[in-house]
Amino acid sequence: MADTLSITDNRTGKKYEVPISDGTIRAMDLRQIKAAPDDFGLMTYDPAFLNTANCRSAITYIDGEKGILLYRGYPIEQLAEESDYLETAYLILFGELPTHNQLQQWTSQITNHTMLHENIKKFMEGFQYDAHPMGIFLSTVGALSTFYPDAKDIFDKDSRMKQIYRLIAKVPSIAAYAFRHSIGRPYNYPDNDLSFAGNFLNMLFRMTEVKYQPNPVLARALDVLFILHADHEQNCSTTTMRTIGSSQVDPYSGLAGAAAALYGPLHGGANEAVLRMLNEIGSVAKVPEFIKKVKAGEGKLMGFGHRVYKSYDPRAKVIKRIADLVFAVTGKNPLLDIALELERIALQDDYFVTRKLYPNVDFYSGLIYQAMGFPTEMFPVLFAIPRTAGWVAQWEEMLLDSETKIARPRQIYTGPVQRDYVPRDKRS
C-alpha cells in the first residue's frame, strides 16, 4: 500500500488521503481540504520554514542529530583532510570529484578570471575609508551585474558557466580590495602562479616585495576553512539566493542578496560577534558570570547553537584542529583560553545541554582569522568567498529544476477588514 496520510476534517466530516513521499507531504495537497466550496483551502503556517522543505537538492546532506555533513556524499572531514577548495567547489557544482584533466581546466578557468575590471576598482574607491568590508563586498558583487549584461542569459548553459567562473574567481579579489581599501593601502593584483588561497593572501598582505610567498601552513589552513564553508544546504543566505534567483534575475544580483543575508549576526556575522563577546568577557575568571547572564536571557552565547545541528557541528571539530596548527605559526590567540572555558562550562551546563546547544562553525573560526591578521570586520567576507561556490551551485540547481516557480509564500492576514476611506477633516 502506498504511504498516505489520512485526514478527517471535523468541520465537514470529509476524509482525505494525502500521499507521503520522501518523508513529506505536499503542502498543495492540503488545498483540497475546504470547509465550504468558496473556502480557499487549508494552508500550512511555518514562519522561518522550521518544518518546510523548499526544494529537492542533491548537493549537501546534513544529519543534525548525528553531526554529519556530506558534500555530494563525501564526508566533510575527508574533504578537509584530502581535498582543496577549488576541487571541492568543482565537486559541489558538478556532482563528482574532477579527473586530473578536469581539475586542471577548472583551475585554469578560475585563475584566468581573477582580475577585476579597472572601473570596479574605481567603484570601490568611492566608499568611505571606514566602510565595512562586507558592505563594500556585497555592493560590488551587485555592481558586477552592470559590467556583465550577458549574465542575464541565465538559461544558456555556456553563459551560466562563464558567470560561475567569474564569480568564484573574482570574489577573493573583491574581498581583498575591500580589505586594502579599509586600511588605506593600494590594491594588489592577483598572482596567478599561486594557489587560490595563496593568491588571496598575496592580494591581502603583499607590501613591496616583488614576489609574495604565502606561509604554506596559513595558506592550507585558509583553504580548509574555505572547504568547510563552501555549502550548507538551505541556510538563510542560500535560501535568499534561491528566492532571488527564482525571479530569473542575473546571478550577481542574486549573490549580492545572499551576501546581505550572510552579513547578519545570526548567520555569517556570528564569528565577528563571537570575537566581540570574547573581548567583552575579557578573562577566564569572568566566564561563569557571563554564562549566568546568558541563562538569565541577557544575550546569547554567540557561536553556539544551530537550527539543524543538535550535536557538535562537524565543521567546528575540524576547525579546532586547524587552530592548533595556525597558532603554532602565529602564536596563540589570547582569547582562546576564554573560548575553551566557555565551551567547557556550557557543555556541562543543563541550560545548554537540554537545549542541545553546541559550538558551531563560527565559535573558533574568528580566533583563527584574528591570529592570521584579519580584522573582525573581514570575517563575514571570508565566509562569503567560499560560500559563493554553494550559492552558485544551488542557484543553478534551482534554475534547472522543472518544479521551480517564482518564490512567493502566502500569509495569514491579521489587519483590518475592508473599510471606507475617511476624509482628512473627518478623522478623530
User: Which residues are marked as active site?
Assistant: 267, 306, 362
The pairing of beta strand 68-71 with beta strand 74-75: antiparallel
Residues 125-164 that bind ligand ACO (CB under 6 A): none
Alpha carbons 364 and 323: distance in angstroms, whole number = 8
The binder of ligand ACO chosen from 84, 250, 341, 362 (CB under 6 A):
362
Cβ nearer to ligand ACO, comparing 152 with 300: 300
The binder of ligand ACO chosen from 206, 306, 320, 387 (CB under 6 A):
306
Of 169, 166, 124, residue with least CA distance to 145:
166
Q: Does 361 bind ligand ACO (CB under 6 A)?
A: yes
Q: Does 28 bind ligand ACO (CB under 6 A)?
A: no
Cβ nearer to ligand ACO, comparing 174 with 270: 270
The binder of ligand ACO chosen from 244, 261, 294, 318 (CB under 6 A):
294
Taking 3-state DSSP, the helix, strand and coil percentages for the chain, each rounded to the nearest 5, stand at: 55, 5, 40
Q: Does 368 bind ligand ACO (CB under 6 A)?
A: no
Residue 285 β-bridge partners: none
Q: Does 301 bind ligand ACO (CB under 6 A)?
A: yes
Cβ nearer to ligand ACO, comparing 209 with 298: 298
Largest CA distance in the chain: 81
Q: Does 317 bind ligand ACO (CB under 6 A)?
A: no
Cβ nearer to ligand ACO, comparing 198 with 305: 305
Of 205, 266, 197, residue with least CA distance to 225:
197
Of 1-9, 188-196, 298-306, 419-427: span binding ligand ACO (CB under 6 A): 298-306
Alpha carbons 262 and 19: distance in angstroms, whole number = 36
Of 84-92, 108-116, 293-301, 318-326: span binding ligand ACO (CB under 6 A): 293-301
Q: Does 388 bind ligand ACO (CB under 6 A)?
A: no
For the CB of residue 301, give the shortest distance to ligand ACO in the complex, in Å: 4
For the CB of residue 364, give the shortest distance to ligand ACO in the complex, in Å: 12
Of 89-97, 190-198, 304-312, 367-375: span binding ligand ACO (CB under 6 A): 304-312
Residue 96 β-bridge partners: none
Cβ nearer to ligand ACO, comparing 121 with 267: 267
Q: Does 227 bind ligand ACO (CB under 6 A)?
A: no
**C-alpha cell recorded at residue 16:** 482525505
Cβ nearer to ligand ACO, comparing 220 with 306: 306
The binder of ligand ACO chosen from 305, 314, 366, 380 (CB under 6 A):
305
Of 275, 271, 365, residue with least CA distance to 320:
365
Query: Residue 66 corresponds to which amino acid?
Result: K
- Torsion sign over Cα 70, 62, 195, 122: positive
For the CB of residue 350, give the shortest distance to ligand ACO in the complex, in Å: 12
- Torsion sign over Cα 291, 295, 297, 300: positive
Alpha carbons 336 and 96: distance in angstroms, whole number = 37
For the CB of residue 48, give the shortest distance to ligand ACO in the complex, in Å: 7
- Torsion sign over Cα 138, 139, 140, 144: positive
Residues 87-126 that bind ligand ACO (CB under 6 A): none
> Within 10 A of 278 (CB to CB), how many other CB atoms are there?
25
Q: Does 360 bind ligand ACO (CB under 6 A)?
A: yes
Alpha carbons 361 and 363: distance in angstroms, whole number = 6
Cβ nearer to ligand ACO, comparing 168 with 270: 270
Q: Does 303 bind ligand ACO (CB under 6 A)?
A: yes
Give the HSE-up count for residue 177: Cα atoms under 13 Å, Cβ half-sphere.
29
Residue nearest ligand ACO, Cβ-based: 305
Residues 230-289 that bind ligand ACO (CB under 6 A): 266-267, 270
The binder of ligand ACO chosen from 104, 355, 400, 409 (CB under 6 A):
355
DSSP 281-341: H-SGGGHHHHHHHHHTTSS--TTB--SS-SS--HHHHHHHHHHHHHHHHH---TTHHHHHH
**Which residues are at the interface with ligand ACO (CB under 6 A)?**
266-267, 270, 294, 300-307, 355, 357, 360-362
